[in-house]
Structure 1
Amino acid sequence: MKAQGMCAKPFEAVKQAFEDMFDDPQERGAGLCVQVGGEMVVDLWAGMADQEGTRPWTRDTLANTFCVVKPYVAVAVLMLVEEGKLELDAPVARYWPEFAQNGKAKVTLRQVMNHTAGLPALRAPDHNAMMYDWEHMLRVLEAEPLWWEPGTDLGYGTTTFGWILGELIRRVDGRDPCAFIHEKILDPHDLDVHLGVDEKHFHRIARFDSAIGRVGDPYSQALRTVLKSEPAHIATFAFTNPGMVPRRTSDPRWWAYRQPAVCGHGTAHGLAGFYSALLAGNFIGRELLSEFTREHSHGMDRVWMRPMRYGLGCMLEQQVDPTASHAMGPDTFGHIGLGGPISFADPERHVSFGFVTTTSGSHTMIDPRPGLLSSLVYAAL
């Protein structure tokens, strides 16, 4: 399938690989953007935005990005740290006193951001019915006991990350966290990323679905087995209570959902543009950017059930695990989303990368599709 858009000559192999993705008849639609030093070198899209194959993908098609947006709320928090409104090593309860219940008084903002807080998941009962009610979910978090002593173990805060950081933004700034991110980060740089899509943009949203036969790497297969067979496992609670699943993405409530760590919709150029702006010195100063991207935690993550490295709200390069590598430099940082979307930056080469898709695979880290594309980008630099 021929891709639309532009591709600088040194990156022709990237374009070819992007077009070759669509040799698989299950592949519906996707977008890819690469920027080097803030300059667009690849901006491609192809396929269809609906499951019936009647609506062509365009440059402004919005794709579900799931957790790709976690670094956005992390950077928003760091902006407030820079303003002196938050402190990384202060207890969350300093700003949100009700959070201190059930042993959480000593949990720090830094521990939440590096996924060592001991609150990666919510236990039973089932919270899916109330997940769209922000105030209700805050009460649940306030009452939730820790899974372990803060700072002693590693577990990805799938949904809890967004509620905790979002509420801290609201408490010290007064704005809804997604409004803060739009007003301070997205809108000033014309980034086509939406944390809660306005109804007037609903027609731009591509339909998301799973592909058959893409089983994923061994870590992904082991995690999927646990999710299907162990209802009381911490990973099962983290990913299903409430659940961030493909079937939810056809629901207009999900499109409009304002949860700043699990629900984003965007274009590939919007995602890449965020990292280009960040590397160019926007949002936070050099000192906090270094703090954001340095390793704060690593080890076997109890939720992902695989080795992970984290900064303060971003995932760091995993060169020891080829199925989790960005295929670029050792200081690469960014974030993946369920089913294939990803965005990241290589600060050494000033590269920003964004990939969106509506065809969900089963890899829990970097999907082979963007993994191949990023390796070809790296080879062309």
Structure 2
Amino acid sequence: MTTTHGTTTARFGGVGEVFRRNVASGEELGASFVVDVDGERVVDLWGGFRDPARTAAWEEDTVVNVWSITKTVTSLAALVLVDRGELDVYAPVARYWPEFAANGKRDVEVRHLLSHTSGVSGLEQPAVLEDLYDTRGAAARMAAQAPWWTPGTASGYHLLNYGHLIGELVHRVTGCSLKRFVAEEIAGPLGADFQVGLAEADAGRVADVVPPPPLPFDPAAAGTDSPAYRTLTGPSATAEAANTPAWRAADLGAANGHGNARSVARVLSVLARGGRADGLRLLGERTIDLVFDVQSDGADLVVGLPVRRGIGFALPKRETAPWIPDGRIAFWGGWGGSMIIADLDRRTTISYVMNRMAPGILGSDRSAAYVRAVYDGLS
């Protein structure tokens, strides 16, 4: 029997109806969904199954690979260092990482890494997924590369290497790996059940991801020298890789964060609530304003979608995600449809993660329906 658990306040009853319907129909295999309004968890739902055979229930503490939602936590880590005065988004990356200046990248700034406009969106060939598991070795290879387009002129999604680039900056500034910094400076103090990677001790409560249909475009169509093709093959990755011990053990700040809707909301509520959560201050107002400093606005060279990017996060663009309203909102999604939205105007955080991946690149029919129901409740 498929069941759902958790609570919703009366104001957000419509969210619960959509969630329960999707779980009951099998549209969702397993999922969790949270809405936090200024520190109050007004929606906290989970249900379904961890596995395609439907033998293991999705429990309250189930975690799953959240794909590119990981990037928002990685961005937050960088912004914490900015707020402490240890990192300047307008400084050259080479100030902190001298080797990065090689091959015409001397003027690439930290903000370019954070906004996917650096021109370094993957590994030069030859490249296989296992190369990324050597986090610092892969970062050194990226530092030696020439950019694949003129830095700062357009975004090209840093699909799998975002965490290598930002993580190396974190390491150069603090001496800590990104994985350790997130654990000790963000997730730990917030009491959030979120990890970059997955501890072996937690393997018994992780939900395997169920791959989506193939991507709706052929990267080779743009030419084998295009940023799209070079990124998507540098290296190639399948969704099934996320279910392997090697992937789960790695430090991949672009794509292998593990958590659930509750823990992701807990972390990103810091942004929605003005930099603080329950007395813990991570960001100040000036640092938060940087998120809304638009760095690019147009078709992304890798995924092809029109995206408006600030520093570290995407910003609303009706053309791409019409179900996200305008305003001081920072968001991003994970492959398959998971979503995190920090709405500063409403001090609201919306978090959705699941294991059965939907088709598409950003969001899904399911995530759109949930988010619309949330904003109906907020209106």
In the aligned structure 1, how far is the partner of 2:210 from the partner of 2:260? 17
Q: TM-score, normalised by structure 1?
A: 0.92
Question: 1:364 corresponds to which letter in structure 2?
Answer: I
Structure 2 unaligned blocks of 5 or more: 277-281
Shift of 1:231: 5.1
In the aligned structure 2, how far is the partner of 1:348 from the partner of 1:34? 15
Q: Report the equivalent of 2:310.
A: 311
Q: TM-score, normalised by structure 2?
A: 0.92
Shift of 1:2: 4.1
Classify the secondary structure of the residue corresponding to 2:207.
coil
Equivalent of residue 341 in structure 2, options 339, 344, 366? 344
Aligned length: 371
In the aligned structure 1, how far is the partner of 2:233 from the partner of 2:44? 34
What are the equivalent positions in structure 2 for 1:218-367 lying under 5 Å apart?
A: 221=216, 224-226=217-219, 232-280=225-273, 281-282=275-276, 283-321=282-320, 324-367=321-364
In the aligned structure 2, how far is the partner of 1:45 from the partner of 1:122? 37
CA contact (8 A) 1:62 1:205 kept: yes
Classify the secondary structure of the residue corresponding to 2:121.
coil
Shift of 1:99: 1.3
Shift of 1:245: 2.7
Structure 1 unaligned blocks of 5 or more: none
Classify the secondary structure of the residue corresponding to 1:359.
coil
Worse-superposed segment, 97-106 or 229-238: 229-238
Inter-CA distance 226–272: structure 2 relative to 1 (3 Å threshold) = same
What are the equivalent positions in structure 2 for 1:1-381 lying under 5 Å apart?
A: 1-25=2-26, 27-211=28-212, 221=216, 224-226=217-219, 232-280=225-273, 281-282=275-276, 283-321=282-320, 324-381=321-378
Inter-CA distance 26–278: structure 2 relative to 1 (3 Å threshold) = closer
Shift of 1:237: 2.7
CA contact (8 A) 2:154 2:296 kept: no
In the aligned structure 1, how far is the partner of 2:191 from the partner of 2:154? 39
Classify the secondary structure of the residue corresponding to 2:352.
strand
* 1:17-72 superposed Cα distances (whole Å, 9 cap, x missing partner): 11121354463111111111110111111110012211000111001101102122
Classify the secondary structure of the residue corresponding to 1:131.
helix
CA contact (8 A) 2:271 2:344 kept: no
Shift of 1:86: 1.8
CA contact (8 A) 2:66 2:257 kept: yes
CA contact (8 A) 2:34 2:350 kept: yes
CA contact (8 A) 2:316 2:330 kept: yes
Inter-CA distance 107–189: structure 2 relative to 1 (3 Å threshold) = same
Inter-CA distance 187–122: structure 2 relative to 1 (3 Å threshold) = same
Classify the secondary structure of the residue corresponding to 2:155.
coil
Shift of 1:230: 5.6
Question: 1:246 corresponds to which letter in structure 2?
Answer: A
* 1:168-206 superposed Cα distances (whole Å, 9 cap, x missing partner): 111111111121111111111111111121111111110
Inter-CA distance 338–7: structure 2 relative to 1 (3 Å threshold) = same
In the aligned structure 2, how far is the partner of 1:176 from the partner of 1:32? 29
* 1:189-240 superposed Cα distances (whole Å, 9 cap, x missing partner): 111111121111111110111255xx8xxxx62xx32368965542233234
Q: In angstroms, what is the RMSD of aligned CA positions?
A: 1.9
% same residue: 31
* 1:230-284 superposed Cα distances (whole Å, 9 cap, x missing partner): 6554223323422343110110111122122221111111111122223332311
